[in-house]
Structure 1
Amino acid sequence: MRAVIFERYGERPEVRDVPDPHPSDHGVIVRVEATGLCRSDWHGWQGHDPDITLPHVPGHELAGVVEAVGLRVSAWRPGDRVTVPFVCACGTCASCATGDHQICERQTQPGFTHWGSFAQYVALDHAEVNLVAVPQDMSFTTAASLGCRFATAFRAVVQQGGVTAGEWVAVHGCGGVGLSAVMIAAASGARVVAVDVSPQALALARKFGAAECVDATGTKDTAAAIRDLTGGGAHVSLDALGSPATCAASVNSLRRRGRHIQVGLLPSPDGTTPVPMARAIALELELLGSHGMAAHTYPPMLELVRAGVLRPDLLLTSTITLDAVPDALAAMGTAPGAGVTVIEPWS
């Protein structure tokens, strides 16, 4: 099969033929019809993820058709249209037993713990607990966006953030996750303040429901700007980008007893990130992490997509081929871009 592969961190990936994968007893092989280009893939390529072993094929946000099934798989068969969360659960650990598959103690992640979906085929483990059926009327490009960015934003806003109608929600960083969060929070009846350095990203945020926008390039103190716009601070604030600056701004933008949700990864040389804990203590803030979304919790989100309340298809801003991935991946380091880019490996 053709795949995007890199042999050293930070060096330009190549597109070349590699061996086809084979299913484990409890797994499947999926023919990848669409896969998203996500900032997490850039982090992995840069060496920020300890689970990656070189050489490596990235890609974790996918949809496609089951090509082959393992001996112990009975719920799925070749030809089924599927997607999958980027966190694949084992289904048997203590966390899985309580339904918290997104923090499985033995989780696997395509594109991180093993070769991923920037390829024509990808292996997925524990298919019985991880695969999600893609409705016949949903395109593969739309379904591919659900597994990481959109589902991650849905859990962060709805399940972790507990956003309710009338609340102010600040979203720091309007890439794929951030724009998804804007759309989901607005659909929940919240008033959204979007923050980004890109005029294009802010324009998309307004299109998807943001009531206010803050240009972080021309604003010295984005947290203060949010507090002014919201009359005291956001009820919920998400760092959807992942940097020390956006994390601190998110916490500092909250009102009393507000909720900060950390979604974006926070790589740092020493593994630490400064957080304004004095404010968290004084205002009794909640600081929460959000890590993907379990496959069994997809139905409410899929129903909102089916009903047209949520439109992840509108987040798609470009479609590229495998051959274009090396340049697109490299560009994410300096220009994260706006919206969602989807790769179609067979085109």
Structure 2
Amino acid sequence: MGMMNASVLSGVRSLARVEQVEIPEIGAEDALIKVVASGICRSDWHLWNGDWAWFDQKLFPTLGHEIGGIVEAVGANVKNIKPGMRVTIPFNLACGSCPYCRKGRQNLCDNQMVPHSLPGSGGWAEYMRAPNADMNCIPLPEGVDEMAAAALGCRFMTAWRAVQSQGAVRGGETVAIFGCGGVGQAAVEIASVLGARVIAVDVDDRKLAKMKELGADAVVNSGGMSGEEAAQKVKAITDGNCGVDLAVDALGIRNTMIGALMSLRKGGRLSQVGLTSQAEQGKVSLPTDLIVVNEWEIRGSLGNPQSGYHDLLAMVARGKLNPTRLVSEEVKLSDVSRVLDDMDNFRTNGYVIITDFT
């Protein structure tokens, strides 16, 4: 098949080195994708940092799961995906046959995998293998290019489900977004476009200024505050100090989860998107009695099922949503280590996308 460039890690927090590796072979159900754009995501940073071992997530040599590309070749049994198609690849690869897949909830697939967990399927490379291509290659409509596909490939599509589906936002509701990283920024834009009044919460004034550009009606700098204190600041902005209808925790630390939960009005909904890191290691203590007496709902939200892309892509194609607006930097494959180091101290602002694979 020949050789290609790929960013290769040797272990936790190792340097990402550009190496020549073999172009992956594909099976009868697979497609070979020429990668045009590939994001460097906070989830990649978590894996590189050694996080998530508490639920069996492992570091693999070539990461990358925010992918926009062109189908180069397909296996003999692939029916609907053709060479030359422009596609994105969901990070929740699905089998298509388990009970969850049959119900259209492919993000909960019993046999779920992420692209970089399979040989040749990481997106930080010139080519990647897309398994079960008819299920896991999502064709891009006119008006959605490969850069937009990479930009929506994880953080944006995750925010879409958290706000629109799991969050069930309705026009006129008030929504608080805690944590204005990649998912949080997308959530602000999406909630605003869907007609909500949006309050953005973060510790970085630079990010909060950007949230106003993306549609936030109000912002709260929660620097130095506990989650409970941040919640009171948010509630003070709401009508009658009653709280928000929907809160989204887009970061996954104790302060943002508690702040989001306690900013809710009675009967409010928390859409929990952020996954924890070393400090919490998967566990945050919750105010159980308040959850009961206020009838708060907590809804987990993971990625976006393959069946959930149509409406999202349609809104991007019509210009209602613009994932590329969140792209702050285009980089080379050789820049991966520098970007991961920047993420250590939250020095990235927006989406960093690999577009040069030389």
* TM-score, normalised by the number of residues in structure 1: 0.95
Query: What residue in structure 1 maps to residue 313 of structure 2?
Result: 302
Stretch of structure 1 that moved more, 242-251 or 11-20: 11-20
Counterpart of 1:321 in structure 2: which amino acid? Answer: K
Q: Which of 303, 306, 331 is the matching residue for 1:292? A: 303
| 2:180 is aligned with 1:169 | no
Query: What residue in structure 2 maps to residue 213 of structure 1?
Result: 219
For residue 296 of structure 1, report the CA deviation from its aligned partner. 2.2
| 2:163 is aligned with 1:160 | no
Counterpart of 2:31 in structure 1: which amino acid? Answer: V
Q: Distance in 2 between matches of 1:163 and 1:254?
A: 14
Distance 1:264 1:336, change over 3 A: farther
Distance 1:271 1:99, change over 3 A: same
CA contact (8 A) 2:143 2:316 kept: no
| 2:30 is aligned with 1:30 | no
For residue 48 of structure 1, report the CA deviation from its aligned partner. 2.0
CA contact (8 A) 1:37 1:341 kept: yes
Query: What residue in structure 2 maps to residue 116 of structure 1?
Result: 122
Q: Secondary structure at the match of 1:166?
A: coil
Query: What residue in structure 1 maps to residue 98 of structure 2?
Result: 93
CA contact (8 A) 1:88 1:130 kept: yes
Q: Distance in 1 between matches of 2:275 and 2:284?
A: 11
For residue 160 of structure 1, report the CA deviation from its aligned partner. 0.6
Counterpart of 2:344 in structure 1: which amino acid? Answer: G
Query: What residue in structure 1 maps to residue 206 of structure 2?
Result: 200
* TM-score, normalised by the number of residues in structure 2: 0.92
Deviations 1:70-129 (A, max 9, x none): 221121122111002110110000111111101101011112455410111111111111
Query: What residue in structure 2 maps to residue 105 of structure 1?
Result: 110
Q: Which of 218, 225, 229 is the matching residue for 2:237? A: 229
Count of aligned positions: 347
Q: Distance in 2 between matches of 1:75 and 1:336?
A: 41
Query: What residue in structure 2 maps to residue 315 of structure 1?
Result: 326
For residue 276 of structure 1, report the CA deviation from its aligned partner. 2.5
Stretch of structure 1 that moved more, 67-76 or 169-178: 67-76
Q: Distance in 2 between matches of 1:274 and 1:158?
A: 27
Counterpart of 1:135 in structure 2: which amino acid? Answer: P
Query: What residue in structure 1 maps to residue 277 of structure 2?
Result: 267
> What's the RMSD between the two structures over aligned residues?
1.7
Q: Distance in 1 between matches of 2:333 and 2:159?
A: 26
Give 5+ residue unaligned stretches, structure 2: none
Stretch of structure 1 that moved more, 272-281 or 90-99: 272-281
| 2:17 is aligned with 1:11 | no
Q: Percent identity?
A: 37
